[in-house]
Amino acid sequence: MAARGRGPDAGSATVWLVAFAVLGCAAFTATLAVGAVVGARHRAEAAADLAALAAADRLLLDPDGGCAWAVGIAAEQRATVVSCTVDREADAVEVVAEVPVAGVPVRLPVGPARARSRAGPVRAAPAPAGAEAGVDLSAVGGS
Q: Give the DSSP letter of residue 66.
A: H
Domain that holds residue 78: 20-119
Q: How many residues does the chain have?
A: 143
Query: 106 Cβ partners below 8 Å, 6+ apart?
Result: 29, 33
Asked whether the predicted pLDDT for residue 113 surpasses 60, the reply is yes
Asked whether the predicted pLDDT for residue 137 surpasses 70, the reply is no
Domain assignment present for residue 14? The answer is no
> In terms of Cα–Cα distance, which of 17, 10, 9, 74 is closest to 44?
74
Asked whether the predicted pLDDT for residue 141 surpasses 80, the reply is no
Domain assignment present for residue 64? The answer is yes
| Number of domains composing the chain | 1
Contact between 120 and 59 (Cβ < 8 Å): yes
pLDDT of residue 132: 58
pLDDT of residue 143: 47
Domain assignment present for residue 58? The answer is yes
Longest dimension (CA), the chain: 108
Q: 66-81 pLDDT, tens per residue?
A: 888 889 999 998 899 9
The percentage of residues in the chain with a pLDDT greater than 70, rounded to a whole number, is: 76
Q: Mean of the per-residue pLDDT values for the chain?
A: 80
